[in-house]
Chains A and B, each alone.
Chain A
Amino acid sequence: MPALEEVKPNWAEEVELEGGSLPSSTEVIVNGQKIVTEYKFNEDDKKVKIVRTYKIEKRIVSKSIAVRKTWKKFGESANDKPGPNPATTIAGEDVYMQFISSKEEDNKPEDEGIDKLKTLGDKNVVKCRTCGGDHWTTKCPWKDTILAGGKLPDDKKPNQVVGQSGPGVEIPKPGGSKYVPPSLRDGGQKRPDGANMARRDDNYCAVRIANLSESTTEVDLEELVKPFGPIHKLYLAKDKQTGLCKGFAYIHFKFKPDAANAIARLHGHGYDHLILSVDWSKPMSNQ
């Protein structure tokens, strides 16, 4: 910047000086940095100190550019001091150049494949290789019985998916077909996890405890339900971010009488500062 010897304060500052309440702005140049300190009142009539730091750079340029650097400002900028005026020149936030690789476009055909599977909708995408029914081979109820590759007569074909989770041995699919995530296999209908769980644990006795206080932990819960009998599984709903209890929990007892006992005793029981509500865990309505 052309370093002018004396810097006249502009009219806005003069007014402030007359008020006498604000210290005048200062400019200090220390090791290659210009530090400008200004004072002004903000909307709440509070004094605000603004410190701007500029880096002073020396560049060797051609003569014509150097001459242009000494040009006087004109027009609307005629009263600006040397250096950028913060009213018109703002240092922007960092932006990054996003490089695009052409590989991104190669993904498109794959998406189409998934879309095609989705459009198959409710048609039987799943086919058991043992009996030909519409369930997974590993879940075939005939798995351990006839198997041997022989096809079942039509009337014996099961229509319902039976909720037995066998020891899942994945048999590799015939080559050529692409991998499709399970959530997309049956026509894109995603089955909520809760439903799966309820089905899997049918022979246990699930109890739902609601109205738990935020500070409840799994240890507290265990202490609460242990006296009623052996427990198969215990699930306390927690907030993902805060890790605090969301207010309800599921307990899977090993024996039904224990569960019934627990419901009878704990329902309406005061716990922490809240009154618990305990009932059988109901399966999802769509199951």
Chain B
Amino acid sequence: MKPLILHGHERSINQIKYNREGDLLFSSSKDNKPNVWYSLNGERLGTFNGHQGVVWCIDVDWTTTKFISGAGDNSCKLWDCETGKEVANIKTMSSVRTCMFSYSANMAVYSTDTAMGQHCQIAILDVRTLDESISHQDPILRIPISGSRVSSILWDNLDETIITGHENGEIIQWDLKVGKKLNSIKEHDQLINDMQWNKDGTMFITASKDHTAKLFDAETLMLLKTYKTERPVNSAAISPIAEHVVLGGGQEAMEVTTTSSRAGKFDSRFFHLVFEEEFARVKGHFGPINSVAFHPDGKSYSSGGEDGYVRVHNFDSSYFEYNFDY
């Protein structure tokens, strides 16, 4: 396969996300401008200019009209997807680490870091009307987090609960009606970098610094599967059409120069969802992969790396013909 290399960022990629139909691919990086691309030909549609710091997280709603981004400049911004104009700017007390629209996009959630004397907190916004008023409105709900900070977040698909992944490896399910903990588990030993849904929202996969990715049942938080690697996993995604998961990772950026590098450390690695066995690798990045995402049609996937490139891969026929031996 011939990947498309998207070179719109000056620094390492933090997160990439497809919209619901998969025709657009959003990317954010340590520079201050999230980008949006046509996934088919790699043409850049535009950049969202306005942030002054690292853009940690991005999300797009299901109609592809609203776009949210959280950044290290202590702000969370809402944008109009079509024009790339900033609509609302929410000032926070510390940098915004995660953000996400609920499935209906009536609400959005963001979480802030434990930094500058501030505690980590989760805030839920009402974003039914996308206008300037959001900048001043009080969040519907604030949940202060006393323990380890939130490092990744997911809405369930009925907008009733959120699931947070924490720096210490804990996963907590929150009831938004009362703002209380519903359930919590600690299956990971270290920071959870990323969480992603499967197609129908019954399971989610976590990617952790403890060198594993794990599959959980969304309702009960029961651990279903574990995918082991020998290096930190930064991102994991589940194929919408096959029983495959893709993991992206590598050494931590700060350790790349101090440890001996062997070819093959920065591959995207494909595991079988059920048998937990690695069956394929794709090379390409010159550094750790920070974010991976499957196209919603399952026929291509993208990865964003520490090298600042987003690579869009359209699978060859060999991938679709491949049968896992068991």
Measured CB to CB, the residues of A under 8 A from B are 1, 59, 61-62, 64-65, 68-69, 71-78, 80, 82-85, 87-102
**Are A92's CB and B5's CB within 8 A?**
yes
**Are A91's CB and B5's CB within 8 A?**
yes
B186 within 8 A of A: no
Top 6 A-B pairs, shortest CB-CB distance: A75-B47, A74-B84, A74-B46, A89-B42, A92-B3, A75-B46
How many Å lie between the Cα of A92 and that of B4 in the bound state? Answer: 5
**Are A68's CB and B8's CB within 8 A?**
no
Task: Count chain B CB atoms within 10 A of each CB in A85, A87, A99 and give the residue with the most.
Answer: A99
**Are A68's CB and B313's CB within 8 A?**
no
Among residues of B, the one whose C-beta sits closest to the C-beta of A80 is: B44
**Are B282's CB and A84's CB within 8 A?**
no
Main secondary structure of the interface of B (DSSP, over half): loop
Partner among A78, A84, A94 whose Cβ is within 8 Å of the Cβ of B43: A84
Main secondary structure of the interface of A (DSSP, over half): loop
Q: Inside 8 A of B270's CB, which chain A residues have their CB?
A: 97
Q: Inside 8 A of A87's CB, which chain B residues have their CB?
A: 7
Q: Inside 8 A of A82's CB, which chain B residues have their CB?
A: 43
Among residues of A, the one whose C-beta sits closest to the C-beta of B20 is: A64
Asked if A94 meets B82 with Cβ closer than 8 Å, knowing A65-B23, A89-B41, the reply is no
Asked if A99 meets B322 with Cβ closer than 8 Å, knowing A88-B7, A92-B2, A92-B284, the reply is yes
B6 within 8 A of A: yes
Q: Which of B172-180, B224-232, B273-281 contacts A (4 or more CB under 8 A)?
A: B273-281
Interface of chain B residues 38 through 68 with chain A (CB within 8 A): 38, 40-49, 63-64
- What's the interface size class on B, roughly? 35 or more
B228, chain A: closest CB distance, angstroms: 13
**Are A68's CB and B44's CB within 8 A?**
no
**Are A75's CB and B7's CB within 8 A?**
no
How many Å lie between the Cα of A76 and that of B325 in the bound state? Answer: 48
Interface of chain B residues 8 through 58 with chain A (CB within 8 A): 8, 21, 23-24, 33, 35, 37-38, 40-49
Asked if A83 meets B43 with Cβ closer than 8 Å, knowing A76-B49, A91-B5, A99-B280, the reply is yes
How many Å lie between the Cα of A235 and that of B217 in the bound state? Answer: 72
B265 within 8 A of A: no
Q: Inside 8 A of B280's CB, which chain A residues have their CB?
A: 97-100
**7 additional contacts (CB under 8 A) given A76-B44, A84-B44:** A68-B64, A69-B38, A89-B42, A95-B3, A95-B282, A97-B280, A102-B277
Partner among B7, B277, B311, B316 whose Cβ is within 8 Å of the Cβ of A97: B316
B199 within 8 A of A: no
**Are B4's CB and A89's CB within 8 A?**
yes
How many Å lie between the Cα of A55 and that of B284 in the bound state? Answer: 24
How many Å lie between the Cα of A205 and that of B284 in the bound state? Answer: 58
Interface of chain B residues 212 through 265 with chain A (CB within 8 A): none
**Are A93's CB and B2's CB within 8 A?**
yes
Q: Inside 8 A of B48's CB, which chain A residues have their CB?
A: 75
How many Å lie between the Cα of A69 and that of B1 in the bound state? Answer: 25
Q: Inside 8 A of A71's CB, which chain B residues have their CB?
A: 45, 82
Q: Inside 8 A of B38's CB, which chain A residues have their CB?
A: 69
Partner among A1, A72, A76, A94 whose Cβ is within 8 Å of the Cβ of B1: A94
B104 within 8 A of A: no
How many Å lie between the Cα of A272 and that of B310 in the bound state? Answer: 61
**Are A75's CB and B33's CB within 8 A?**
yes
Q: Inside 8 A of A102's CB, which chain B residues have their CB?
A: 277, 325
**Are B5's CB and A95's CB within 8 A?**
no
**Are B21's CB and A65's CB within 8 A?**
yes
A sample of 17 cross-chain residue pairs with beta-carbon separation below 8 angstroms, ordered by A number, consists of A64-B21, A64-B64, A69-B38, A74-B83, A74-B84, A76-B46, A77-B44, A77-B46, A83-B43, A89-B43, A93-B2, A94-B1, A97-B315, A98-B283, A99-B279, A100-B280, A100-B281
